[in-house]
């Protein structure tokens, strides 16, 4: 056995049973960058969660949180889906919008309306490849809880799902729970209406980047929230 193979064997022995990780290419951005999902934990588990590290390309401190999540063991009974970065073009350009200048978080089909300027909602709902990628994954996975990281209001937004879930997460991370305006065409607005009984909510992180310790703390809070969820075979939405 070579040293490399021995090291790999030793690593595999240390991995817990729940360390399943699968990376899937979901699609590509306007400029052709990959948008991946990473599935962590038990793919047959009833407790399905989704975490999106970045949707506004200049609010991406959540990337450090999702990377920390990928390094931590996923609790038994949890099927955890991660979209690290839904807006890689915006991130590359340090821009809120995608490469078409569209605010992806105004491009979802619930309560969509035409908006221009910084909140440009696109020519129609789901006009953008990035929003369609999230839309399709969410309808396929039907996460019981979805967490969308933004910056930089330092709060957990009461986004219209189960306020108990939002309150629990706010307490875990030490942020206040407040209600921001419910914006037309937002991802969580669509999720909470399209998939009743599930909870999608926004976490507004502080400005700047997170320390490794802070990112790991948020990641552990996500896992604690997942553990606290009651198992449920399927959260079915309206047809």
List interacting residues with Zn ion (CB under 5 A).
56, 59, 150
Which residue's C-beta sits nearest to Zn ion? 150
Instruction: Give the nearer residue to Zn ion in terms of CB position, either 56 or 168.
Output: 56
Minimum distance from residue 152 beta carbon to Zn ion (Å): 9
Burial of 78 (0-12, 13-18, 19+ CB in 10 A): buried
**By C-beta, is 56 or 194 nearer to Zn ion?**
56
Minimal distance, residue 105 CB to Zn ion, in Å:
6
CB closer to Zn ion out of 41 and 185: 185
What is the nearest approach in angstroms of Zn ion to the Cβ of residue 198?
Answer: 21
Q: Of 56 and 106, which has the nearer Cβ to Zn ion?
A: 56
Q: Residue 197 CB, nearest distance to Zn ion (Å)?
A: 25
Residue 75 vs 90, nearer CB to Zn ion? 90
């Amino acid at each position: 056995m070579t040293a490399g193979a021995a090291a790999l064997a030793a690593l595999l022995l240390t991995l817990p049973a729940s360390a399943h990780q699968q990376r899937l290419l979901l699609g590509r951005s306007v400029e052709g960058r990959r948008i991946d999902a990473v599935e962590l934990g038990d793919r047959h588990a009833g407790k399905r969660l989704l975490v999106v590290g970045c949707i506004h390309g200049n609010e991406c401190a959540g990337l450090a949180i999702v990377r920390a999540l990928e390094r931590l063991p996923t609790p038994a009974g949890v099927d955890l889906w991660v979209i690290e970065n839904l807006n890689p073009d915006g991130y590359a350009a340090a821009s809120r919008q995608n490469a078409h200048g569209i605010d992806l978080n105004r491009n979802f089909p619930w309560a969509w309306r035409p908006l221009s300027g910084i909140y440009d909602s696109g020519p129609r709902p789901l006009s953008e490849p990035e929003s369609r990628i999230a839309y399709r994954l969410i309808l396929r996975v039907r996460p019981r809880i979805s967490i969308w990281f933004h910056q930089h209001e330092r709060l957990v937004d009461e986004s219209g799902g189960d306020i108990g879930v939002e309150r629990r997460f706010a307490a875990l991370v030490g942020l206040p729970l407040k209600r921001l305006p419910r914006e037309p065409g937002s991802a969580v607005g669509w999720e909470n209406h399209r998939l009743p009984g599930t909870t999608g909510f926004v976490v507004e992180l502080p400005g700047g980047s997170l320390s490794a310790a802070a990112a790991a703390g948020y990641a552990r809070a996500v896992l604690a929230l997942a553990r606290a969820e009651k198992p449920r075979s399927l959260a079915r939405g309206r047809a």
